[in-house]
Amino acid sequence: MEAHGAKIHVPIDAAVDVNGHRREYKLQNLPTDAAVKDIGSDTIEKYTRIVLASKTVFLSGPPGVFEKAEFCKGTCDLFDAIIESEAFSVIGGGHSSAAANKLGVLEKISYVSTGGGALERLLLGKSMPVIEALRASAKRL
């Protein structure tokens, strides 16, 4: 059985705002005072390949500041890949659904949840505080 760690892919580059312009850096060369605003082109390419080869895709939170055109590239390209793929697609969180809506692809996603953190907990098999509270309440009644 494959370990979960082999399925987790971290970014290899990032885009930052330098005087109002998009600049990309490999993570090891990222300026320490830089505000990361998006994933970089190499990461977009890597993630696109992974998405296109996947049977299920889960996205929790857009990878970039999609509200700003110069930092929407990662979000736009990943949503394009998700839509192009034949994968069952799940997006979680209010920002993800807002991005999908803004990009006009919300209806093309298999399942959309505005509860990002709650959806993650559910998929990870962790206890959910609201469910536990309901169970405790049911025992008392």
Q: Where are the domains of the chain?
A: 4-140
Alpha-carbon span 13 to 118, nearest angstrom: 29
pLDDT digits (tens, 9 = 90+) for 114-126: 887 777 777 788 8
Helices assigned H by DSSP within the chain:
41-52, 73-84, 94-102, 116-123, 129-140
Taking CA atoms, 41 is separated from 17, 24, 51, 63, 100, in Å, by 15, 8, 15, 12, 20
> Percentage of the chain with pLDDT > 90?
61
Cβ(64)–Cβ(72) below 8 Å: yes
The string of pLDDT tens digits covering residues 2-22 is: 555 567 789 999 999 988 899
CATH 3.40.50.1260 matches 4-140:
yes
Higher model confidence: residue 19 or residue 104?
104
Antiparallel, parallel or unpaired: β 21-26 and 56-60: unpaired
Helix ranges restricted to H, 10-104:
41-52, 73-84, 94-102
Mean pLDDT of the chain: 90
Instruction: Report CA dihedral (111, 113, 78, 100) to the nearest 10 degrees.
Output: 100
**Of all residues in the chain, what percent carry a pLDDT higher than 70?**
96
3-state SS assignment for residue 139: helix
Task: Specify the 3-state DSSP secondary structure of 72.
Answer: coil
50 versus 125: the higher-pLDDT residue is 50
The confidence score (pLDDT) of residue 6 equals 64
Cα distance from N-terminal residue to C-terminal residue, the chain: 44
The pTM for the full model equals 0.82
